[in-house]
Structure 1
Amino acid sequence: MNRNLGQSGLRRKRRSGNPMEAYDSLPAPVRHWVAQAALPWSPTSVRRIWKKSRAKGLSAEEALQSLAHAEVRTLARDRHSMETRLDS
């Protein structure tokens, strides 16, 4: 069972702690972004990108765009890895 992780070829990681508690502690705009995301992001990964963006002085909207850009890069990497496997 893939447990709602989709057909991604990306490596999965085990996480410790309570993921719902970590999710609930995210700022509201970030929680909304995660709910709409195409990939199953971990709260830790999202928080890291958010904090890094905000530390650079980006606005909340710009930080959300950073999250979207990270997702596009990850989807491109997944697409490339799946194409490589199909060509084999």
Structure 2
Amino acid sequence: GAPSAKNLIRKDFRITQERGKLFKSELARAILATLHPAYILRQQSAENDGGYSLLVADIAKAWTTALRLAERTTAGSASVASQLELDI
């Protein structure tokens, strides 16, 4: 969610505008912020998935990114994170 992203990515991070993007970090090879599951549950209605589809897409992107990083690391690639298409 936004509070974690503001601590890990940058203070002016906007979850509604920047969720689902990959960011560089000193803490990990890449960081991807998404909506908090509790927020999504509170927003859901009969007409609106409350962002559930966004959460699923973000998790899929994070999983794909993790697999790509693992493959490149196993292959002995040097600066793996620099080879990713990061948003910043």
TM superposition score normalised by structure 1: 0.39
Say which structure is richer in strand: 2
Say which structure is richer in helix: 1
